A and B are shown apart, each in its own frame.
Chain A
Amino acid sequence: MINLSIAETHKGLKGKKFSATELAKAYLKRIKETDGKLHSYITVTEDTALKQAAEIDKKGKFENPITGIPMNLKDLICTAGIKTTACSKMLENFVPPYNAHVYDRLLGAGAVLLGKSNTDQFAMGSSSETSYFGVTKNPWDQTRVSGGSSGGPAASVAADQTCFAIGTDTGGSIRQPASLSSCVGLKVTYGRVPREGVISYASSFDTVGPLTKTVEDAALVLNVIAGRSERDATTPDVAVPDYTKFLKKDLKGVTIGIPKDYFEQGVEKETVDTVMAGVEVLKKLGAKVVEIKLPLIKYAIPTYYLLVKSEASTNLARYDGIKYGHTVKAEELEDIYIKSRQEGFGDEVKRAIMLGTYCLSSGYYDAYYLKAAKVRRLMKEEYDEAFKKCDVLVAPTSPFPAFKIDERMDDPLAMYAADTLTVTAGILGLPGMSVPAGFSKKGLPIGMQFMANQFDEGKLFHAAHAFEQATEWHKKKPKL
Chain B
Amino acid sequence: MKLTHDEVKKIAKLARLGLNEAEVEKFSVQLSDILGHAKMLDEIDTSKVEPIAQITGLTNVNFKDEVKNCVVTDELLKQSPQPIHNRMIKVKSVF
CB distance from B13 to the nearest CB of A (A): 8
- Give 1 or 0 for each of A198-241: 1 = CB within 8 Å of chain B CB: 00000010000000000000000000000000100110100000
CB nearest neighbor in A for B81: A327
Chain B 1-23: CB-based contact to A (< 8 A → 1; otherwise 0): 00000001001101111110001
Does residue A375 face the partner (Cβ distance < 8 Å to B)? yes
Q: Which of A322, A355, A377 contacts B89 (CB 8 A)?
A: A322
Q: Which B residues are CB-close (under 8 A) to A358?
A: 11, 31, 35
CB neighbours (8 Å) of A234 from chain B are: 54, 56, 58, 61
B-facing mask of A402-439, CB < 8 A → 1, else 0? 00000000001100000000000001110000000000
A306 touching B38, Cβ below 8 Å: yes
Query: Is the C-beta of B87 less than 8 angstroms from some C-beta in chain A?
Result: no
Q: In whole angstroms, what is the CA distance A322 to B89 when docked? A: 8
Q: Which of A331, A334, A412 contacts B34 (CB 8 A)?
A: A412
Smallest CB separation, A420 vs chain B (Å) = 13
B93 to chain A: which residues have CB within 8 Å? 333
Contact in complex: A357, B15 (CB < 8 Å): yes
Determine the residue in chain A with the shortest Cβ distance to B15: A357
> Are A338 and B40 in contact, CB atoms less than 8 angstroms apart?
no
User: Does B65 count as interface, using CB distance less than 8 angstroms?
Assistant: no
The total of chain B residues at the interface (CB under 8 A) is 47
Which residue from A190, A375, A412 sits with its C-beta under 8 Å from B46? A375
Interface residue A18 (Cβ < 8 Å from any Cβ of B):
no
A190 in complex: contacting residue of B55, B61, B92, CB < 8 Å: B55
> In the docked arrangement, what's the CA distance between A375 and B45, Å?
9
B79 in contact with A332 (CB, 8 Å) = no
Query: A33 to B15, alpha carbons, bound, how many Å?
Result: 44
- A302/B40 in contact, CB under 8 A: yes
Shortest CB distance A249–B (Å): 31
* Chain B: minimal CB distance from A456 (Å): 13
Q: Report chain B residues within 8 Å CB of A243.
A: none
Asked if A141 is at the interface (CB within 8 A of a chain B CB), the reply is no
CA distance A234 to B56 in the complex (A): 9
> Considering the complex, which residues of chain A in the window 288-314 have a beta carbon less than 8 Å from any beta carbon of chain B?
296, 298-299, 301-303, 305-306, 313
* Interchain CB contact under 8 A, B54 and A378: no
Of the candidates B17, B23, B31, B79, the one whose C-beta lies within 8 Å of that of A338 is B17
Q: Does A321 contact B (CB under 8 A)?
A: yes
Q: Does B67 contact A (CB under 8 A)?
A: no
Report the minimal beta-carbon distance from B44 to chain A, rounded to whole angstroms.
Answer: 6
Q: Which chain B positions have C-beta within 8 A of A132?
A: none
CB–CB A332/B92 < 8 A: yes
- Is B56 in contact with A189, judged by CB distance below 8 angstroms? yes
Q: Which of A191, A301, A320, A375 contacts B16 (CB 8 A)?
A: A320
Residues of A within 8 A of B63 (CB): 230, 233
Chain A residues with CB under 8 Å of B55's CB are 190, 204, 376, 380, 427-429, 454
Bound: A68/B72 CA distance, A: 29
State in angstroms the CA–CA spacing of A306 and B41 once bound together: 11
| Shortest distance from the beta carbon of A42 to any chain B beta carbon, whole Å | 19
Known A-B contacts A333-B92, A354-B27; the reply to A375 vs B56 at CB < 8 A is no
What 6 additional pairs, Cβ within 8 angstroms, besides A371-B42, A380-B55? A233-B58, A323-B79, A368-B38, A375-B41, A375-B46, A413-B33
Give 9 closest A-B pairs by Cβ, nearest first.
A342-B18, A373-B51, A97-B75, A429-B55, A324-B79, A374-B46, A327-B81, A302-B38, A233-B61
Task: Give the interface of B toward A (CB within 8 A).
Answer: 8, 11-12, 14-19, 23, 27, 30-31, 33-35, 37-38, 40-44, 46, 49-56, 58, 61, 63, 72, 75-76, 79-82, 89, 91-94
A-B contact pairs, 27 of them (CB 8 A): A97-B72, A97-B75, A190-B56, A204-B54, A298-B40, A301-B37, A305-B34, A306-B41, A322-B89, A323-B89, A324-B80, A336-B91, A337-B16, A342-B17, A345-B17, A350-B23, A354-B11, A354-B12, A354-B15, A355-B34, A368-B38, A370-B51, A372-B41, A373-B51, A373-B53, A375-B44, A375-B46
